[in-house]
Chains A and B, each alone.
Chain A
C-alpha cells in the first residue's frame, strides 16, 4: 500500500516535470525537471528491476543532465536558438497538449493493464505520460536542446515499460549507452555552429 502511494506520487512528479519541461522555455528549469523526472522513473523501474539496475538508469540519467547542463552553461545567451515561427508557442496551447496526454494516459492505463496483466497501473501511467509528453515535445520545438529533451523523455517512458517485460543486463547496459549517447549528441548539436570555421572541409 505504502509503495503504491509512493508510486502514484512518482507518476504525479512525472506529470509535473513533463509539463514544466514543455511549458517553461528556460533551459535550467527544463534540465532540473529532467533530473527530477529520472528520479521518478527510477522508482517506477525498480518496481520490476533490481535496485542496482534501476540505479544504473538513474545515474545515467543524471549524467546526461550534467553533460547537457555543463554544455549549455558554456554557451552564451546569444547562442540560444530561436524557435521556428511556424511552430505554435503559446503557453495555453502547451498546457492543453499536456492535458490531452494526461487524459489519454488516464484512459489507456486500465486498458493496457487488462491486456498485459502484472505491469502495474502506476508503471503504465508513468510510462504513457512520458512517452506522450516526449512525442508532443518533439512536435512543438525546433531547438536542439529541447529536441534531445523530448527524445530522452520519450525514451525514459519506454524504458519504464520495457523494464517490466525485459530484465536483461545487456539491454539495461545498451539502453544506458543510448541515453548517454543522446546526451552527448545533444551537447554536440548545442556546440555545433558556435565554433569558428577554422578549416575548410570538402568531403
Chain B
C-alpha cells in the first residue's frame, strides 16, 4: 500500500462513509478513531521502510501516480502526518453536540485529506488547487442550510479563490526567474504576484477581516478547526516555496517584506483584540496574531526557521481546540458571545472558563504555557534582527494580554450570592483537562516535542541548513 492511499484516500472515503452510513451519535467516535489510527500508523510505520512483524513484512511505499503526476509522501512527512491526524482526532473527539457532529466529522476528515494531498502533490505548485478545493468543502460546514451566508463566509470564499490563480501563475513565472536570474523585472513581477497570492491565503493585514467576521457569524468550533487546518498547510506550502526557489530564500528585500508583514499582522491583531467586545472575535484576532508570528518567523533568514515555525504551529492546534471548545460550551448558555452577555459565567462553567483563559494566555505567550517556548525562540532571533520589530510584536502580545484580562474580569463579574456549579459534561471536562494539561506540559517541558523535531526539518531540502 502506498502512503497517499493511506493518508489521503482512506480518510477521504471514511469521511464519505461516515456521512452516509454512520449514525449521528457515533460519528464523533468513529471519525476521531479513524484520525487517531492514521496518526498512530504514521508514528509507528515509517514510510518507505520495511517493517517485520513476525513473518509478515509491511512496507508503505511513498508515491502513487495520478493523471501523469505523482502524489508522494516521504519518511519525513510521517511525523507531520502524525501531528496533523493526532490534532484532527482531538478536534473530532471534542465535538459534543450530537445533532451537528456528523457533518463536521465527515467533512472535516475530507478536508484534512485534501490538505494532506496538498503537501503530497508533485509538482508542489498544484497544492494551490487542492487548498482551494478544501476551502470550498469548508463552506457547508460554515453555513448551516437554514442560515443565510454572512459577509465573513463570502469574503473567505473570495479570498481563497483569488489566491489560487495568483499562486499558480507566480509558480510558472518563478520557473522563468530561476532560469534567467539576472532579469530584475520578471523577478519583481513574480515576487509581487506570489506575495499577493499568499496575502490572500494567509489573510495578512488587511485581508484578515473575514476571520473575526466568521467568529461572530458561525460556529466558533468550526471556525477554529478551519483556522487550525488552513494555517498549518498554508504554512507548509509557503515554506515549500522558500525551500525550492533560491532567490526567494536569499533575497533580503523579500525577507524584510515578509518580516514587516508578519509584524503588522501581529501588532494590529493584538491591538484590535484588546478593543473587542466579543469573545469569538477575540479568538479570531488571537489566531491572526499567531499567524503573524508564523509569517514573521518565515521571513527570518535563520537556520532555526523550520524549528521555530513548527514550535509555533504544534501548540496552536491545542490552543485553538481548547479555546473553541470552551466557547462552544459557553455559547449554549447565551444568545451572543458579547462580553455583556457572558458576564459572570465563570460560576456556571468554571472549567470551560478556566480552559478558555489558559488557552488565551498561552497564545499571548504566558510563561509555563505552550506558547511560551516558541515566543522565546522567536524573540531571541528577532532581538538580533531588529529591536523595533520586537517592540511591535511585544505590543501585539500586550494587546492580547489586555484582552485576556478583560475576558477574565467579565467572566468572574457575578453576583456575590450566585452559586458555583459545574455544568460541563464529563466528556467536555475530560477534553478540556487533557488539553490544558497538554498546554502546561509543552510549556514547562518543551523537550517533549523533541522527537517530532528530529524529522521535520528534513521535509525541506534547503531551509534551516
Interface residues of A (CB under 8 A from B): 115, 131, 138, 142, 144, 147, 151, 154-155, 158, 161-162, 165-166, 168-171, 173-175, 177-178, 181-182, 184-185, 188-189, 191-193, 195-203
Contact = CB atoms under 8 A, between A and B. Distances in A.
A169 B95 CA distance: 39
Interface stretch (B163-171, B253-261, B360-368, B413-421): B163-171
Interface in B437-454: none
A185 to B, nearest CB: 5
B69 A168 contact: yes
B340 interface: no
Nearest to A171: B126
A102 B139 CA distance: 33
B147 A193 contact: yes
A189 B143 contact: yes
Given A199-B99, A203-B219, 14 more contacts: A142-B154, A151-B157, A170-B66, A171-B129, A174-B133, A178-B136, A181-B133, A181-B136, A185-B157, A188-B143, A189-B153, A193-B146, A198-B146, A200-B99
B contact face: mostly helix, strand, loop, or mixed = helix
Contacts of B137: 181
A201 B102 CA distance: 11
Nearest to A193: B148
B242 interface: no
A202 B328 contact: yes
B428 to A, nearest CB: 12
A155 B146 contact: no
A171 B147 CA distance: 34
A168 B68 contact: yes
Contacts of B157: 147, 151, 185
Interface in B96-155: 97, 99-101, 104, 126, 129-130, 132-133, 136-137, 139-140, 143-149, 151, 153-154
A166 to B, nearest CB: 6
A166 B158 CA distance: 24
A178 B145 contact: no
A178 B133 contact: yes
A188 B140 contact: yes
Please list the 7 inter-chain residue pairs (A to B) with the smallest Cβ-Cβ separation, ordered nearest first.
A193-B148, A201-B100, A158-B165, A197-B146, A174-B129, A170-B67, A181-B136
